[in-house]
Amino acid sequence: MQQYYEIPTPQGVMRGFFHTPQQEEFPVCIIFHGFTGCNTGAKFSYTQLSRMLEKEGIATIRMDFLGSGESDLSFRDMTFEDELNCACLILEEILKIPATQKIYLLGHSMGGVIASELAKLYPDKITKMCLWSPAFNLSDAIDYLKGCTPLAEFYDHNGFEISHRFVEDIISRDFYKDLGTYQNQLMIIHGTKDTTVPFKISKKYLSLFHQPQFYPIKDATHNFDQLEHIQTVIQLTYDYLRDEL
C-alpha cells in the first residue's frame, strides 16, 4: 500500500510516501534523493522501484528532504548537515515501527553520500546499502562557486539558489574518510560516461569500502538518461534488495 507520509522535524515537516506490503513484518528500504532532486527519483525510478519491491514484501520510504520537493523550507535553506540530520530522523522513525525487520539504504548522487554518512553513524543498523553514482567528489565539484562572487551569501547554481553555509559545509568535509566503517552488504552502480561524478573516482571509493559489489553501466550518464540504462539500474537494485528474502 502506498500512503502519503509526514515526519515532523525541529525545522519543519518532511513529506513523502511510505510503501508497505501486506504482511506483519518486512524489511524497509529508505531512499535518499540527490542534490536538486525529489522523492520520485530520476525518470520516476524511486516510484517504480518502490512499487516493485512492495510486491516482493519489501517496504520503502521516500521522503523529500527539507527544502526540496513538497517538504517545508526553501532550497536555499538546505545544508548537507541538515539533510544528514533529516536522514537520521527518517531512520529513527522507521526503527520505531514494530513491523520493521531490517533496514536497507538507497541513495543517488548526493543522496548516496547521505546514505554512506548515515551508514557510518549506524553501521550495525543497516543490512544492505545501494549507491547510484555516489557523489564523493562534492567538495571539489562545489568549490568553484566561491570564486564566482566573493563572500556571497547565496550563489546561483544552474538556477538553484544555494547558500554560502551549504558551500562551506560541503568543502569542509572529506566524504572518503572512514568508508570502511560500514561492513555489511553494499552494491554501487556508476555510469561510465558520468561527467557530474567522473567515473574515474570509482577507483578511489571502491578501494575504501568493505567488499563492495560494483556494476559499471557502459555509456550511462549521471542520471541514466537512456531508457536501457535506467531500466538496468532499477532491475539490478530490485534483484539485489530482494535477494535472500
- Return the domain boundaries, the chain: 2-137+176-242
For the cut 80, the answer to whether the pLDDT of residue 23 exceeds it is yes
Residue 181, strand partner residues: none
Is a pLDDT exceeding 60 seen at residue 5? yes
Q: b/e per residue, 63-84, with b = 16+ CB within 10 A?
A: bbbbbbbebbbebebbbbebbb
Comparing 5-14, 47-56, 91-100, 146-155, the range with the smallest average pLDDT is 146-155
What's the DSSP call for residue 44?
Answer: G
pLDDT confidence bin for 144, thresholds 50/70/90: low
- In this prediction, residue 115 carries a pLDDT of 98
* Res 150: pLDDT: 59
Whole-number pLDDT of residue 142: 79
Q: How confident is the model at residue 140 (pLDDT cuts 50, 70, 90)?
A: confident
- Mean pLDDT (the chain) is 94
Percentage of the chain modeled with pLDDT above 70: 96
pLDDT digits (tens, 9 = 90+) for 157-171: 888 898 889 988 998
Q: What confidence tens digit (pLDDT) does each residue in 46-85 have? A: 999 999 999 999 999 999 999 999 999 999 999 999 999 9
Domain 2-137+176-242, CATH 3.40.50.970 — does that match? no
CA distances (Å), origin 45, targets 88, 159, 166, 215: 23, 24, 27, 17
Residue 147's pLDDT band (boundaries 50, 70, 90)?
A: low
**139 band by pLDDT with thresholds 50, 70 and 90:** confident
Return the amino acid letter for 102: K
Nearest partner of 141 among 109, 178, 188, judged by Cα: 109
Task: Check pLDDT > 70 for residue 124.
Answer: yes
How sure is the predictor about 141, in pLDDT bands with cuts at 50, 70 and 90? confident
Which pLDDT does position 218 carry in this prediction? 98
- Whole-number percent of the chain with pLDDT over 90: 86
> Does pLDDT of 221 surpass 80?
yes
Pairing status of strand 59-64 against strand 13-19: antiparallel
What does the pLDDT average to over 192-198? 95
pTM exceeding 0.85: yes
How high is the pLDDT of residue 100?
Answer: 97
pLDDT band at 101; cut points 50, 70, 90:
very high
